[in-house]
Amino acid sequence: MKIFYHTSATATGGRDGHTQVDDGSIGFDLVSFQNQSGKVGTNPEQLFAMGYAACFDSAMNHVAPSLGLKPTQSSTKVAVGIGQKEDEAFGLDIDITVTVEGVSVDEAKKWIQKAHEVCPYSNATRGNVPVRLHVKVIETFDL
């Protein structure tokens, strides 16, 4: 694979510590999703959801022209769950909901499926994390 971008981040203290991009451009105090201490922060699942949503939305923008689509608006919401699997390992569960305007339901489904095929996050999770795709089409009309 030809790498055209590389970044790195460091975490200390695990889920109740701190994580920061190594170039210092952004960092977060972390709290567990079970946080009851009152400490303010975010958790790794939230960070993953934000990254996946941005990446998937970019993948949609990337593939739209190849499908001849010119949507008027789109947004991507990614919901990430974490739980314990039967083998006692921990795993993620993902729902991706795309809201689009300016395309039909059938066009939106093809568009989302194509984006799912090219998105790096989708490729990283494929086969080992349940991912469900959902679409909401906003219909517009003139009076």
Report d(CA 49, CA 134) in Å as an integer.
15
For residue 39, what pLDDT band results from cuts at 50, 70 and 90? confident
Report d(CA 84, CA 2) in Å as an integer.
35
Structural domains of the chain sorted by starting position, each given as residue range(s) with its CATH number in brackets: 1-42 (2.20.25.10), 44-138 (3.30.300.20)
Please give the pLDDT value at position 45. 94
Q: pTM for the whole thing?
A: 0.90
For residue 40, what pLDDT band results from cuts at 50, 70 and 90? confident
44-96 pLDDT, tens digit per residue, is 999 999 999 999 999 999 999 999 998 888 899 999 999 999 999 999 999 99
Q: For 2-16, 23-37, 89-103, 110-124, which range has the lowest pLDDT when averaged over its residues?
A: 23-37
Q: What is the dihedral of CA 117, 47, 6, 127, to 10 degrees?
A: -30
